[in-house]
Amino acid sequence: MSVKRLHVMFDDDDILLDAVKEIVKNKIYIYEVYTPFPVHGLDKAMKLKPTNISIATFIYGCIGFTVAVLMMYYIMIVDWPQDIGGKPSFTLIENIPSFVPIIFEMTVFFAAHLMVITFYMRSKLWPFKKAENPEPSTTDDKFLVDMESGSNLSKTKTMLKKMGAVSIKEVKE
Amino acid sequence: MSSHYEAPIRKPLVLGDKSYADISNDIARPVETPPDRDWWIAFSISMIIFLWGLGCIAYTIGTGIGTWGLNKTVGWAWDITNFVWWVGIGHAGTLISAVLLLFRQKWRMGINRSAEAMTIFSVIQAGLFPVIHMGRPWLIYWFFPIPNQFGSLWVNFNSPLLWDVFAISTYLTVSLVFWWTGLLPDFAMIRDRAVKPFRKKIYSLLSFGWSGRAKDWQRFEEVSLVLAGLATPLVLSVHTIVSFDFATSVIPGWHTTIFPPYFVAGAIFSGFAMVQTLLIIMRKVSRLESYITLQHIEMMNIVIMITGSIVGCAYITELFIAWYSGVEYEQYAFLNRATGPYWWAYFLMMSCNVVSPQVMWIKKIRTNIIWSFIISIVVNIGMWFERFVIIVTSLHRDYLPSSWTMFSPTFVDIGIFLGTIGFFFVLFLLYARSFPVVAQAEIKTILKSSGEIYKKNRDK
């Protein structure tokens, strides 16, 4: 019996979570789960790796910090030092107190925007991108598991029904 | 089911017997139904005021800043008052969406979307003023450190006005992406239920193809949390830097170290008042009483009361320090502020900002919608006068008594200010009819723990 692809629909997040745990326990491969809101614990149940986006954000923040310091060092100290209100302008270290606000702002600017851009790129979100959820109701109140049928289709179906699936659809790949 | 447990002592945040589908229906309703007559009336009035404001801006740019009431003693008046007022209003949105997220305050979810919208729209109004005040707004690129043909003449990084440029632009853009990222799943909800092809097209475009995969949600939550962590110090820094515009100067009445915390508290104060004003109307008009409950209004009133008291403490501390400093210029600036020719503005500021929020100690008043609405308007007026008092009364009697003068606004000053209020409401009214005004995906996550019917059934 050939392995088929199933679209299994649930109508409750708790039932979905238990079902996903059961499917994983039976060693059936889950392609994807579509939910209308973040179901807490779903990523762990699906054994998804934790996201590294916050580490990336820290690096982006460091880049912003460096860019800000280098920019102001070049502009205010190297290229055209000026005496402004008697503030020391001949070395970076003496002039840095008045650079703090902009260093902070640029750190946040780089961290926030590059993080969001990374998120959009990694999750493939941009204008004119076509949505990929197979059923439109998964943004409303339904939960869809896109999975393999396993070697024994009828056994899998009984298991899913027992777990509370609302509908099971076989899809052609 | 135990994971959805919430102590019975906490009041429900979603009222009525709602299912997930009901939430979608309730939030999509204002978008899917045509606006009624009242909306059109409000929109037309706002639009007319906005157009009048645009006319005044055009007149200012065409003729020059001389069309304003400024004179050589009072060189900053309504423009910067309006700028600070609008930036301050903007702060509540980020506070609600970021700070309350970090503190895990679930009541945030009913109001954060509209509060963030308000932030963005009011920061747009604020940004207009420095640009108009430049006199030659087509030279706006001089704000930025770009190589140029003037012998590479750079901007001055020692200047608090330049810090402001960086702070406001960072704040506006970061708030915008924070808002939009949260909007993606809600736009997707409207897209997937749209029947008309045009609507479907528009919302597919706006939702960036959001599909709600498990991995997307995992990243979404992480991104929201980290953005909240970034936005929290950002929002505090923005009004701190706005206050530096004054605090780093040498003008008595401006040159005070208390300005940063005092401005930030004032910003949260005025921002919450504006959120209150807008949401009390919106919950009624868009029939969102189940999501923006009386408890939400009460919570916001408590924040208004506390920040109002902080602002009151700051006013009194200012007076005390002026006396205690022993500097007679400083002492005169504050004496003149309270008892000079602008005593009425000082009195308005004190009574609107310090006295009026104190009635919120009474539970009957802070849970009364009419009272909450009135106080929120009073606070908005008071906070405008606070900035007017700080700016104009510190300037109008300077070191040279022969140049002492008063400030009187021209119709252009008034027109531009009213115009920004019109513009703000034009944007907000459009938003209320085309955007999901409550973060429905987030509300759905707390339905089982904080929904009224779920709580009742669990307590049985």
Write the CB contacts of B260 (distance below 8 Å, at least 6 apart in sequence).
B239, B240, B243, B244, B247
Q: How many domains are contained in chain A? A: 2
User: A30 to chain B nearest CA, in Å?
Assistant: 11
By Cβ distance, the residue of B177, B191, B241 closest to A101 is B241
Contacts B24 to A, Cβ<8 Å: 36, 140-141
Share of residues in chain A with pLDDT > 70 (%): 98
Residue B15 placed within a domain:
no
Measured distance CA(B176)–CA(B168) in Å, rounded: 12
Which A residues 60-89 touch B at CB under 8 Å? 71-72, 75-76, 79-80, 82, 84-85, 87, 89
Interface contact A37-B445, CB threshold 8 A:
yes
Interface contact B214-A95, CB threshold 8 A:
no
Residue B13 placed within a domain:
no
Residue B18 placed within a domain:
no
Domain that holds residue B369: 35-459
Residue A127 placed within a domain:
no
Contacts B181 to A, Cβ<8 Å: 116, 119
A92 lies in the same domain as A59: yes
Sort B379 into a burial class: Cβ within 10 Å, 0-12 / 13-18 / 19+: buried
Residue B253 placed within a domain:
yes
Averaged pLDDT, B408-433: 95
- Express each pLDDT in B185-220 by its tens digit: 999 999 999 999 999 999 999 999 999 999 999 999
User: A167 to chain B nearest CA, in Å?
Assistant: 18
Contacts B217 to A, Cβ<8 Å: 35, 37-39, 42-43
Q: Which residue has the higher pLDDT, A150 or A30?
A: A30
Q: Which of A15, A68, A70 is nearest to A45 (CA)?
A: A15
By Cβ distance, the residue of B1, B24, B155 closest to A140 is B24
Share of residues in chain B with pLDDT > 70 (%): 99
A37 lies in the same domain as A88: no
Averaged pLDDT, B326-347: 92
| Predicted pLDDT of residue B459 | 72
Q: Token match 């289709």: residue?
A: A153
Interface test with A, best of B173, B202, B219 (most A CBs within 10 A): B219
Lowest-confidence range among B19-33, B134-148, B338-352? B134-148
User: A152 to chain B nearest CA, in Å?
Assistant: 26
Say if residue A2's pLDDT is above 80: no
Domain that holds residue A36: 5-50+133-171
User: A100 to chain B nearest CA, in Å?
Assistant: 9
Measured distance CA(B159)–CA(B127) in Å, rounded: 18
Q: How many CB pairs under 8 A join A and B?
A: 203
In sequence order, what are the beta bridge partners of A38? none
CATH number at residue A28: 3.30.70
| Predicted pLDDT of residue B47 | 96
Say if residue A8's pLDDT is above 80: yes
Interface contact B191-A139, CB threshold 8 A:
yes
Contacts A18 to B, Cβ<8 Å: none
Q: What is the CA radius of gyration of chain B?
A: 23
Measured distance CA(A149)–CA(A173) in Å, rounded: 12
Q: Which residue has the higher pLDDT, B151 or A121?
A: A121
Q: How does residue A99 score in pLDDT terms, banded at 50, 70 and 90? A: very high
Say if residue B84's pLDDT is above 90: yes
Contacts A41 to B, Cβ<8 Å: 3
- Express each pLDDT in B369-400 by its tens digit: 999 999 999 999 999 999 999 999 999 998 88
Q: How many domains are contained in chain B? A: 1
Interface test with A, best of B5, B157, B205 (most A CBs within 10 A): B157
Contacts A98 to B, Cβ<8 Å: 157-158
User: B241 to chain A nearest CA, in Å?
Assistant: 8
Measured distance CA(B158)–CA(A22) in Å, rounded: 62
| Predicted pLDDT of residue B1 | 44
Nearest residue of A to residue B154 by CA position?
A75
Q: Which of B89, B79, B81 is nearest to B131 (CA)?
A: B79
Averaged pLDDT, B243-271: 91
| Predicted pLDDT of residue A173 | 67
Residue B157 placed within a domain:
yes
CA A28 vs CA A63, A164, B299: distances in Å: 43, 17, 48
Helix (H) or strand (E) holding A145: strand A143-148
Report residue B96 as tokens: 């609600």
Distance of CA B32 to the CA centre of its chain: 27
Q: Which of B261, B242, B290 is nearest to B90 (CA)?
A: B242
| Predicted pLDDT of residue B151 | 66
Residue B10 placed within a domain:
no
Interface test with A, best of B148, B207, B215 (most A CBs within 10 A): B215
Say if residue A143's pLDDT is above 80: yes
User: A48 to chain B nearest CA, in Å?
Assistant: 7
Which A residues 127-166 touch B at CB under 8 Å? 127-133, 136-141
By Cβ distance, the residue of A36, A72, A104 closest to B212 is A36
A118 lies in the same domain as A58: yes
Lowest-confidence range among A54-58, B91-95, B179-183, B292-296? B91-95
| Predicted pLDDT of residue B44 | 96
Residue A128 placed within a domain:
no
DSSP codes of every residue in A9-72: EES-HHHHHHHHHHHHHTT--EEEEE-SS--TTHHHHTTPPPP-HHHHHHHHHHHHHHHHHHHH
CA B62 vs CA B51, B58, B59, B65, B135: distances in Å: 16, 6, 5, 9, 9
| ipTM of the complex in this document | 0.92
Interface contact B223-A102, CB threshold 8 A:
no
- Express each pLDDT in B92-145 by its tens digit: 888 888 888 899 888 899 899 999 999 999 999 999 999 999 888 998 888 888
Report residue B259 as tokens: 């300005």
Interface contact A131-B210, CB threshold 8 A:
yes
Interface contact A133-B211, CB threshold 8 A:
yes
Contacts A87 to B, Cβ<8 Å: 158
- CB neighbours of residue B75 within 10 Å: 10
Residue B265 placed within a domain:
yes
CATH number at residue B115: 1.20.1630.10
By Cβ distance, the residue of B170, B215, B234 closest to A48 is B215
A92 lies in the same domain as A104: yes
Say if residue A105's pLDDT is above 80: yes
pTM for the predicted model, two decimal places: 0.93
Interface contact B210-A112, CB threshold 8 A:
no
A64 lies in the same domain as A31: no
- Express each pLDDT in A62-76 by its tens digit: 999 999 999 999 988
| Predicted pLDDT of residue B4 | 79
Q: Which of B331, B381, B323 is nearest to B351 (CA)?
A: B381
Say if residue A6's pLDDT is above 80: yes
For residue A123, give the amino acid letter: S
Measured distance CA(B238)–CA(B260) in Å, rounded: 10
Measured distance CA(B24)–CA(B39) in Å, rounded: 22
Whole-number mean pLDDT of chain A?
89
Whole-number mean pLDDT of chain B?
91
User: A98 to chain B nearest CA, in Å?
Assistant: 5
Spatial contact of B219 and A122, defined as CB atoms under 8 Å apart: yes
- Express each pLDDT in A74-90 by its tens digit: 988 888 888 887 777 78
Residue B123 placed within a domain:
yes
By Cβ distance, the residue of A48, A106, A115 closest to B214 is A48
